[in-house]
Amino acid sequence: MAKKIVLCLAVLAMVCGFSAISMAGEGPETTTIDTPKKAKSTVTFQHWAHQARTECAKCHHTQNADGTQGPYAAGKEAKCATCHDGSLANKKVATAKKAAHANCKGCHKAAKKGPTKCGDCHIK
């Protein structure tokens, strides 16, 4: 009886472990966020590391017909600048730069963890 319980627990642990590993592999391992040529250097974003810590909807969303932020929809991800192109009514997130700084730096400051200064993300 004890051997069956141990075996079942071992199988369960393996299934959970494989599920966690497969989830970490969704999307690119890293992604590069381009910046205008006159601006700071590009940012290499550690997607898998962030994905392991938070829900996709924390960063990704869609756009409603009226231009407001819509819910996250898997497979509908687009570059931030597609919508955050300066035309949004909310000037705090109108550009991709402003949206990234608000979302990324805001999250890092709230968590008291992660980069919040220019040279931390924009590495020369």
Q: Looking at residues 5-25, what average pLDDT do you find? A: 45
pLDDT in tens, 29-71: 998 887 776 667 888 889 999 999 899 998 999 989 888 889 9
Residues 6+ apart with CB under 8 A from 18: none
pLDDT, position 27: 84
pLDDT, position 36: 73
Q: Are strands 62-63 and 69-70 parallel, antiparallel or unpaired?
A: antiparallel
Q: Looking at residues 69-78, what average pLDDT do you find? A: 89
Please, where are the H alpha helices in 1-124?
2-24, 47-51, 96-100, 106-111, 118-121
Q: Residue 40: what residue type?
A: K
**Tokens 């004890």 — which residue?**
2
Q: Looking at residues 17-27, what average pLDDT do you find? A: 51
pLDDT over 80 (residue 78): yes
pLDDT over 90 (residue 109): yes
Question: Measured between alpha carbons, how far apart are the two ends of the chain, in Å?
Answer: 60
CA pseudo-torsion sign 26, 33, 83, 70: positive
- CA 42 vs CA 7, 97, 102, 122: distances in Å: 49, 11, 17, 6
pLDDT over 50 (residue 88): yes
Q: Which fold does the domain 29-121 belong to in CATH? A: Cytochrome C3 (3.90.10)
pLDDT, position 3: 59
Q: Looking at residues 84-97, what average pLDDT do you find? A: 91
Using CA atoms, how far apart are residues 8 and 43, in angstroms rounded to an integer? 44
How confident is residue 23, by pLDDT bands cut at 50, 70 and 90? very low
pLDDT, position 6: 44
